[in-house]
Structure 1
Amino acid sequence: MSSLIEQAAQRLEQLRQAGADMPATPPAVPAPAVAAKQVGNSDVQPAALSRRVEIDLEALAAAGIVSPNAPRSQIADQFRVIKRPLIANAMGRGASIIANGNLIMVTSALPGEGKTFTAINLAMSMATELDYTVMLVDADVARPSVMNVLGLPEGPGLLDLVVDESKDLSSMLLRTNINKLTILPSGTQHARATELLASDAMIRLLDDMAKRYADRIIVFDSPPLLPTTESRVLATHMGQVVVVVQAEKTLQSDVQQALATIESCPVKLMLLNQAKTISKMGYEYGYGYGYAQQEA
């Protein structure tokens, strides 16, 4: 490129000596165009693009989480049963049409009952469906754990979208190596998280999530119902709520109290975690399943 510039300078000098009206400095030689390459979310693009992350599927399978590439397993079969009525309701094929039926909140009465494990497994199982896409949202804004379980770094997400409505949802989503699964982190911690989840901005965001894509099912991992108030607020915007109960641990009174906080939700599904079942080989652990629906 330097020889071209030198040749151009020499030619300009020759033209000036011949009396031509030419600029005193040679014209800049344009640099060759470079194709835009996305590295994380740092590049300037015409439109905001989601980042892509790699989930270690082998590590998840070893931890007992459903993986699209793993061989058939008991837990995968259990979540096939659990997801079926949820999908029917989400797609308007249940007993009645449910507003925001594709917004599914997974919670529990108390911490440590397996709600995050259930939310991730449910999203993973739904992502194996041929006809639907799935978004997994870490809505446990006080103690987010979805990203940690999946081995992914935290980043901007749900709360950032509520704080600044000019931000685009697609710029916060994480595309994964599971074709039909995207993830929305909980986002930047905020002292008024409860108020943000109860705000009109949150309602508008949830409405956009529910209606933007007809084939999208959105699974929210939310805080437990009794020690926090965020999940109770979030439940008022959900079409379906899955309440995880740990077998032989959670008190019946706690479960009843938790259910009373989400009475307005039209569909509530009870999921019994670590229930003992008897097989020919002895005791096994699995998921029990109960389903209740009421008109809002």
Structure 2
Amino acid sequence: MGLIEKASGGVDDPFGALGEPLPEEKPAAAAPQFDLDFASLAAQGFYNPGDRSSRLSLELRAIKRGLLRRLGLRNASGEKRMIRKGGRQRNLVMVTSTRPGEGKTFCSINLALSLACEEEMEVLLVDADTPRPKVRAHFDLPASKGLTDRLLDPTLSAAALSLKARQAPLSVLPEGSPVPRAADLFGSAEAQRLFNELSLRRAGRLVIIDAPPVLATTEAVMLARHVDEVIFVVEADATPEAGVSAALDELLDANPSVSLLLNRCLIGPGGAYYGSYGDYGRSQDDTSTGGAGSAPSEQ
């Protein structure tokens, strides 16, 4: 049986589980801010809002189009849909991979930057890869309290722990303090409450969660149970099919809405990179194609 045939089913409620609406929580006045160093980010291979005709920008648009349509934030023609009043939006997205080094953090950051800078969407980027966090380093952010601290101490505010970019509607919730068993935290009732809160608190905000690789720890599967969409990054011509199949089996058991992003796929005489963004958890009629660009070698 092929990989695509393994995936079946879908999401019955296009808006996800409902919840009681929460009053919008404004970021704390003392919450730290940071500057987006676009020159440094571009040098690392990330999205540059000053070069919107680049191959990476074009590929990210295709990825965003498919993602926002599946989340119910765009219609089939790409037009914005009204934000649902009351109840939980479909706005929690997790990015993972089979193993380290396939470019998942590269894809998480690029997607967050492109949505915030080009679509002007409010985005919260959460670094949940507690064993090997990378997000802070790419943005040159200092170590600080973050996700794990909030889960251990519910009196802490996720908004106060987040760092807000000055140039775009982008915030980063760092990984937080090292913990010995993050999987237990991510599988807890407090984690469910936190992710529901992140979804409900600010209407129109998209939450992108950079998770550990599936086969490296059990944390990605625990996190997948809390989100609306899973983006599964696969390095073309590098990841063994058996590994992809095993990781997909685990993800689909936790969440039926999984999309594949094929990264670093070399085509054409000029050596251009592209990616394919295909939907595993639903009918292949709803599949869109796009790209991921050439990810640097990272987790």
Superposition TM-score, scaled by structure 2 size? 0.77
**Matched-pair contact (CA < 8 Å) for 1:141–1:189:** yes
**Which one is further off, 265-274 or 73-82?**
265-274
Secondary structure in 2 matching 1:220: strand
Does 1:289 pair with 2:282?
Answer: no
- Percent of paired sites with the same residue: 37
Does 1:135 pair with 2:85?
Answer: no
**Matched-pair contact (CA < 8 Å) for 1:240–1:268:** yes
Deviations 1:211-248 (A, max 9, x none): 11111001111000012001110001110000111111
Aligned-residue Cα RMSD (Å) equals 2.1
Give the distance between the partners of 1:267 and 1:144, measured in 2 at CA. Answer: 25
Give the distance between the partners of 1:76 and 1:286, measured in 2 at CA. Answer: 12
Q: How does 1:29-178 map to 2 (within 5 A)?
A: 49-91=30-72, 93=74, 101-130=90-119, 132-178=121-167
Q: Which has the higher contact order (CA 8 A, sep 6+)?
A: 2
Give the distance between the partners of 2:65 and 2:195, measured in 1 at CA. Answer: 23
Offset, 1:64: 1.5
Aligned residues: 246
**Matched-pair contact (CA < 8 Å) for 1:131–1:215:** no
Q: CA separation of 1:261/1:183 partners in 2, compared to 1, >3 Å: closer, same or farther?
A: same
Secondary structure in 1 matching 2:114: helix
Secondary structure in 2 matching 1:144: coil
Equivalent position to 1:191, from 180, 189, 211:
180
Superposition TM-score, scaled by structure 1 size? 0.78
Secondary structure in 2 matching 1:210: helix
Offset, 1:91: 3.9
Number of the residue aligned with 2:262: 272
Q: CA separation of 1:127/1:89 partners in 2, compared to 1, >3 Å: closer, same or farther?
A: same
**Matched-pair contact (CA < 8 Å) for 2:94–2:209:** yes
Structure with larger Rg: 1
Q: Which runs of 5+ in 2 are unaligned?
A: 1-27, 77-83, 284-299
Give the distance between the partners of 2:97 and 2:259, measured in 1 at CA. Answer: 11
Deviations 1:70-105 (A, max 9, x none): 34210111011011121223345579x997621110
**Matched-pair contact (CA < 8 Å) for 1:275–1:285:** yes
Secondary structure in 2 matching 1:127: helix
**Which one is further off, 248-257 or 263-272?**
263-272
Q: CA separation of 1:55/1:239 partners in 2, compared to 1, >3 Å: closer, same or farther?
A: same
Number of the residue aligned with 1:227: 216
Structure 2 letter corresponding to 1:78: E
**Matched-pair contact (CA < 8 Å) for 2:116–2:122:** yes
**Matched-pair contact (CA < 8 Å) for 2:88–2:200:** no
Structure 2 letter corresponding to 1:155: S
Offset, 1:292: 2.9
Does 1:237 pair with 2:237?
Answer: no
**Matched-pair contact (CA < 8 Å) for 2:92–2:229:** yes
